[in-house]
Structure 1
Amino acid sequence: MPSGTQYVVLDLEDIARYIRGHTAGFAETHIWTTIQSHIIPYYSLTMSIKNVIIIGAGGNLGPSVLQAFLSSSFNTTVLSREGSSSTFPSGVKVIRADYSSIDSLKQAFQGQDAVISLVGGGALGDQNKLIDAAIAAGVKRFLPSEYGSNTPDPKTRAIVPVFEAKFATINYLKSKENVISWTSVVTGPFFDWGLKVGFLGFNAQNKTATIVDSGDATFSSTNLGTIGKAVVKSLENAEATKNQYVYVSGFQTSQNQILAAAEKITGDKWTVNKATAKDYIAKGNELLQKGDFSGIGSLIQALTFGDEEQLGDLKPSGLWNDKLGLEQDSFEDSIKAAFSGKLLHEV
């Protein structure tokens, strides 16, 4: 590029508008053919993402997302809070920062193309500071902490009010789209992890299952390893996923389908306990009123497994699995791994 020349990145529609204004008589199809042939190859370069920094690479999801990026072509860095005792695989570049300081965060984000937030708990409502620091550092893409229920649906937020924090983060990002883009990956509950710890209602050791309502409600659920791959592929397809909710489903299943597979795998008849979504909502709200945030889990279980609204099914929102080229995991192998105390990608 000639030295001293300034370049401005424009939206493709801005470019089309410019061509219309300076080329009277051009057919609309000719305009877009010109853009596709001569502009997009260079435009895509401006949108390319190479350097990625992950916030919250510990926890339940973090290690799987980190591993997916370490297996990719991205240059990957982990951001950790100053004073944190979290450890990461040898060879991983780790930057420490003061999360309460935008200046400290800005310094940590320098040279990064994308920031991936995996924060949880109370930090979900405090991501605006991360976004502001990313903007100040010139970051191109911000992926907020989502990876679960369909929070854009007001019915989902009505059952789990703390999800308003996630929705507010997206609205904040939308207000900043002139300076930073975003992608929000929605996956449903973690499948192999959820079976491993009992969140999906199954106890492999005792061979018991707690079935909510009829047990036939279809819900979307995704293995942790697949979630990691989905995040990677969202950035590999950065233009397609720009300013989008990206819905991913590892399995479209139900509690009864899991139960049938569990009995087949173990060769035993399981004991079934019955519950209702209303029971779980009452339990969750009671716990939250006492200041026990484990109640959030009960509310998520209610909206995922409940018959009435079928809020756990992401398919009506439009799945991205095929667009991203995600491979299908084995349903039975995922269950076997979880019952042995592992995640599928750890087997």
Structure 2
Amino acid sequence: MAAIKKVILIGAGGNVGPWILKALDEDPDFEVSILARKSSKSTYPSNVMVHHVDDSYPDDQVSEAFQGQDAVVCSMNTSQVMRQINFIDLAVKAGVKWFVPAEFGGNKAKSHLGVKTPMFDAKESVHKHLMEMEKSGLCWTAVATGAFLDWGLSNGFLGFDIEARRAKVYDSGDEHWTGTKLPTIGLAVARLFKTPEKVKNRFIYIYSTRTSQNEILRAFETATGKKWDVEHVKFDDEVAAGQELMKQGNRLGIVPLILSSFFREKMGADFTRATEADNDILGLPVENVEDVVREVLAWPESMIESARLV
């Protein structure tokens, strides 16, 4: 297969997208461009070409942007996941060689054990369509990351309120799992194109550190020099409450549903135990949780603001 050179990124302004863009843009082996809605307020480096399309992503405009591209990378938000099926079809017609979907989640092999959500079902539909398109010559790689570690620590998603010095610990808090920092996710996407035959038509599993909620709590207390308030909760109760919130239209109800797949035992959330992680293939760093916590505590306000849940 010819080398992947020209890569177009969809969703460059979200949580993961800026880090994928950064990794691709800083690598001289790639010529990166962006597909963006005309109404988007996101800004990008001046050296990166931006293909602006109408907000409805008309086929003719998307197809034009895909012409001459070697790969399409999607990092769209969860409400847009199903749009990828049409993007995949347009990519095939345009002769694109590789597609990286907006996966960036948990262990696909164990997903059937988790709490069902519309997001998981949508990602499964995209995965099936990618496998179907293999017969048309399209290759794909989906990246399983576990929890977004730095992002989730900074905004409370993983149960830690930095400003209030308060932690919500699920079940025992000793369950081990792996999570990945946003810059490492960006590196993984850029580097997977360097070893295409090793990552072709499959999920790859990456992580920055293996930890637990209690380990994170100890790291926060050490780094801040303060004892934190701790609320102990049960996943069964939190999942039921989350499902009720979702019925009421509150999107934050999905948080405990997602965390149940990341934190609970036997969910395959520890990539060092449940599957063979691909860090070595991609040359990705492994870090200790103490360093990650100190890094998050030093985040500037601009990064904290961009990571807020609401």
- TM normalised by structure 1 equals 0.81
**8 Å Cα contact 1:47-1:239 kept in structure 2:** no
Q: Over residues 281-319 of structure 1, what are the superposed CA-to-partner deviations in whole Å (9 max), with x where a residue is unaligned?
A: 112211111122222222112222234x34422331210
Q: Counterpart amino acid of 2:169?
A: I
After TM superposition, list the pairs within 5 Å mapping 1:315-334 onto structure 2. Answer: 315=272, 316-334=274-292
Distance in structure 2 (CA, Å) of the matches to 1:207 and 1:150: 30
Q: For the residues of structure 1 that align with 2:47 and 2:203, how far apart are their CA atoms?
A: 32
Is contact 1:284–1:299 with CA below 8 Å preserved after alignment?
yes
Q: Given the two structures, how large is their TM-score scaled by the length of structure 2?
A: 0.91
Match of 2:4 among 49, 67, 70: 49
Other-structure match for 1:132? 89
SS in 2 for 1:115: strand
Secondary structure of the structure 1 residue equivalent to 2:4: coil
Given the alignment of the two structures, is residue 92 of structure 1 paired with residue 26 of structure 2, yes or no? no
Which of 44, 65, 68 in structure 2 is aligned with 1:111? 68
Question: Residues of 1 paired with 2:95 and 2:126: CA distance?
Answer: 19
Asked if 1:249 is matched to 2:204, the reply is no
Give secondary structure in 2 for the equivalent of 1:172.
Answer: helix
* One-letter amino acid of the counterpart of residue 239, structure 2: I
SS of residue in 2 equivalent to 1:252 = strand
Pair 194,170 (structure 1): closer, same or farther in 2 beyond 3 Å: same
* Structure 1 residue matching 2:192: 3-state secondary structure: helix
* Partner residue in 1 for 2:307: none
Counterpart of 2:262 in structure 1 is: 304
Structure 1 position 82 matched with structure 2 position 43: no
CA deviation string 1:63-92 (max 9, x = no partner): 111111111121110110133222112222
- 1:176 alignment partner AA: M
1:58 counterpart = 2:13: yes
Alignment partners' CA distance in 2, 1:296 and 1:333:
29
**Separation in 2 of the partners of 1:157 and 1:282?**
13
Separation (CA, whole Å) in 1 of partners of 2:276 and 2:258: 21
- The 1-side partners of 2:37 and 2:249 are apart by 25
Identity %: 39
Among 58, 68, 75, the residue aligned to 2:23: 68
- Give 5+ residue unaligned stretches, structure 1: 1-45
Equivalences for residues 1-347 of structure 1 within 5 A: 46-72=1-27, 73-98=29-54, 99-178=56-135, 179-307=137-265, 309-315=266-272, 316-342=274-300
Task: Supply the distance in 2 between the matched residues of 1:96 and 1:152 (Cα, whole angstroms).
Answer: 36
Choose 46-55 or 136-145, whichever is displaced more.
46-55
Q: Which has the higher contact order (CA 8 A, sep 6+)?
A: 2
Distance 1:288 1:258 in 2: 28
Aligned match of 1:14: none
Q: 1:161, CA displacement in angstroms?
A: 4.4
What is the rounded CA distance, in whole Å, between the counterparts of 1:322 and 1:214 in structure 2?
Answer: 31
SS in 2 for 1:240: helix
* Matched-pair contact (CA < 8 Å) for 1:55–1:118: yes
Question: Contact between 1:186 and 1:246, CA under 8 Å: does it hold in 2?
Answer: yes
Shift of 1:198: 0.8
Gaps of 5+ in 2: 305-310
Shift of 1:100: 3.5
Query: Given residue 60 of structure 2, which amino acid in structure 1 is its aligned partner?
Result: D
Deviation of 1:183 after TM superposition, in Å, equals 0.3
Residue pair 1:50, 1:74 contacting (<8 A) in 2 also: yes
Deviation at 1:259, TM superposition (A): 1.0
Deviation at 1:182, TM superposition (A): 0.4
- 3-state SS of paired residue (1:127): helix
SS of the aligned residue for 1:239 comes to helix
Whole-Å separation in 2 of the counterparts to 1:210 and 1:286: 19
Letter in 2 for 1:209: A
Moved more, 114-123 or 98-107: 98-107
The Cα offsets for residues 27-50 of structure 1, whole Å up to 9 and x where unpaired, read as: xxxxxxxxxxxxxxxxxxx33100
Task: Answer with 143-152 or 105-114: which moved more.
Answer: 143-152
Equivalent-residue separation in structure 2 for 1:156 and 1:77 (angstroms)? 38
* Structure 1 residue identity aligned to 2:276: G
Is the CA contact (8 Å cut-off) linking 1:157 and 1:164 kept in structure 2? no
